[in-house]
Amino acid sequence: MSSSSALRLRTAVHYAKTKGRFPTPLLARTFASSVPRAAINKVVDSAEAAIEGLEPNDTLLCGGFGLCGVPDTLINAVRAAPHITGLTVVSNNAGIVGSGLGLLLESQQIGKMIASYVGENKLFEGQYLQGKIDLELTPQGTLAERCRAGGAGIPAFYTPAAVGTVVQTGELPLRHTPQGTVAKYTPPKDVKVFGGKAYVLEEAIKADFAFVKAWKADRLGNVQFRYAAHNFNGAMARNARVTVVEAEHIVEPGEIEPAAVHVPGIYVKRVVQSTTPKNIEKTVYAKSKDEQVSGALGTGDAASKRERIVRRAAKEFKNGMYANLGIGMPMLAPSFVGPEVEVQLQSENGILGLGPYPQKGEEDPDLINAGKETVTLAKGAAVFGSEESFGMIRAGRIDLTILGAMQVSARGDLANWMLPGKIKGFGGAMDLVSNPANTRVVVTMEHTDKKGRPKILKQCEFPLTGKTCVSRVITELCVFDVDFVDGLTLVEIADGVTVDEVKAKTEAPFKIADDLKPML
C-alpha cells in the first residue's frame, strides 16, 4: 500500500471513531492539500450592493477633504436610497452645494454632522441654523484622532487641542430651534493635567459604516491611496463595522506592493469600482511672483499694508525649519524668502514638502493644500494621512506656524475661527496652536478691523482658538512680542509710524523695547 493510500485509510478510520470531529493536527493537513478552496473576493458588482445593510440612523464615516478623496460613487448610491435617513455622518466637511455630502444635505438624509469645518457651504449652514440638522464641531486633528482611536480599540484620549475654548467648556451650539435660537449645547469635557499641562478628554468615534475612496484596491481588500487623497480615508477605513472601499483601480492580489498597502484588507468588507469623476474645488495655477502677490494682496492702500506684513513675516523663516502656513497672507510669505533659506512646508491635510501651484493643465485633484487649492509637491516630499499629520503637529514637530487672526489678547490668546453670526468651523487651527512651547505661533493681521476698531485687545471678545499661544504679532504698523505672563512688548515699528499711533490703535497695554527697531 502506498503512503498516500495508507494516509487516506488512517484518516477514514479516525473520522469514523471521532464522528467527523477532527483534532487540530488532521485539520491542519487539509490546508496543505491540493483540494481547491473558494478564493476570498470582497469585490461587489454595484454601489447598491456595496451599501447593503446601511440603515436609517446609522453612523457613517465618510473620507475626503474638500472634494479630494471623496467616495462620490457610494454617496450617490445613498442619495438613490431615500429611505436611508437620519444618518450621523462624520467627515471633515460636508462637501459643497451639489457635490459630495452636499447631495445628502439636499436630500435631507443627514440628521447630524460631526465635522471640523462648515466652510462656504451655505446649505449646511442654513440647515444647521434652522434646526434641521445637528452639528458637533470638532477640531480637525481631534476628529482624525477620534476616528483612529475608535478603530484601535481606545475608547477615549486626552489632547492639548482646544483647552480653554468652547469645545472644552461645552458652549458650542449642537442644535437650534426653527427660529434660530440655541436648543442644545455640547456638554463640557473633562480636563486633566499631565506634566504641568492641561489636556481635554475626547471620546473615540465608533461607526456602523465607513465610505472610503482609494486609488487601488484588490479583491482581498488591500488599499492604496494617492497623494493627498489619503486624508481621513485611512483612519476611517480602520474604524467601522462595515468598511466599503470605492477604488479607481481594482487589481489582482500582488499588484499592490506589500510596502505600499496603506490599509490591510483585514479592515475592509467590500470593494466596488469607482464610477464618478474626481472634482477640484479651487483650481489655482502658477503665476509669476509679482502676479501671485499682487493678486492675493488686493489693490490700493490695503495691498501696501498687507505686503508690508507679508514681507516682515518672511523674516520668521530660518534655514531647516518645518513650517505650517494658514491661508491668505501667511501663504504668501515664502515668496519673499531668499534662496539661501530652505524651509519644508507642511499642509495639515497630509503633505510635508508642499510645492508651488501647478502650471495650467498639470493640476491634479489628488494634490491640494489645506485651503483646497491645487498644488504640487517639492522634491523629497512625503504624503500621509490626517491622523499622522496632526500627530506631528500636536507633538511639536512643526517649528513655526503663521496664522491670520481676528483678535489677539495681551497674554497671547488667539481668536480666528468665528465671527458673530457666521459659522465656519475650526479647521486645524486649534491643533496648530496646541503646543506653543515647541511650535512658535506667529500671527499676521491688519492692526484694526474694517471699522477701525483695535484687534489687539486686553481680552478677546470672540470665541478662542487657543489660550496663551501666540508668540509674536505682525501688523502693518509694528511687531509685538508676547509673554504669556507679562504681556506685550513693542519690538519693531514701521517706517512713518509713531508709538502714539500704535497706542491709539491698540487696546491692550504694552511695553516698549529698549532697542526698538525698524520693522523692515
Query: Are 135 and 186 within 8 A, CB to CB?
Result: no
Q: Is 303 helix (H, G, I), strand (E, B) or coil?
A: helix
Tell me the C-alpha distance between 113 and 105, whole Å: 10
Tell me the C-alpha distance between 335 and 297, whole Å: 13
Tell me the C-alpha distance between 442 and 317, whole Å: 11
Inter-axis angle of helices 140-151 and 386-394, nearest 10: 120
* Residue 453 DSSP symbol: -
What region does 187 belong to: left with phi over 0, alpha with psi -120 to 50, or beta? beta
Query: Are 351 and 381 within 8 A, CB to CB?
Result: yes
- Which residue has cell 444647521? 128
Strands 197-203 and 191-194, how do they pair? Answer: antiparallel
Choice among 348, 388, 476, 492 that is catalytic: 348
For the record, the C-alpha cell of 28 comes out as: 491542519
For the record, the C-alpha cell of 465 comes out as: 482658538
Instruction: Look at residues 454, 484, 464, 457 and name the one whose alpha carbon lies nearest to residue 472.
Output: 484
Query: Are 472 and 452 within 8 A, CB to CB?
Result: no
Instruction: Look at residues 476, 475, 477, 403 and name the one whose alpha carbon lies nearest to residue 440.
Output: 403
Query: Are 427 and 369 within 8 A, CB to CB?
Result: no
> HEC states along 278-328?
CCCCECCCCCCHHHHHHHHHCCHHHHHHHHHHHHHHHCCCCCCCEEEECCC
* Residue 58 DSSP symbol: -
Tell me the C-alpha distance between 180 and 189, whole Å: 25
Query: Are 480 and 456 within 8 A, CB to CB?
Result: yes
Tell me the C-alpha distance between 46 and 308, whole Å: 56
Kindly tell me the sign of the dihedral angle through the C-alpha atoms of 117, 210, 170, 392: negative
Is there a catalytic annotation at residue 476?
A: no
What region does 108 belong to: left with phi over 0, alpha with psi -120 to 50, or beta? left
Tell me the C-alpha distance between 442 and 125, whole Å: 30
For the record, the C-alpha cell of 386 comes out as: 490626517
Tell me the C-alpha distance between 309 and 298, whole Å: 13
Tell me the C-alpha distance between 261 and 507, whole Å: 55
HSE-CB for 453 with a 13 A CA cutoff: 7
Tell me the C-alpha distance between 26 and 96, whole Å: 59
Q: Tell me the catalytic residues.
A: 348
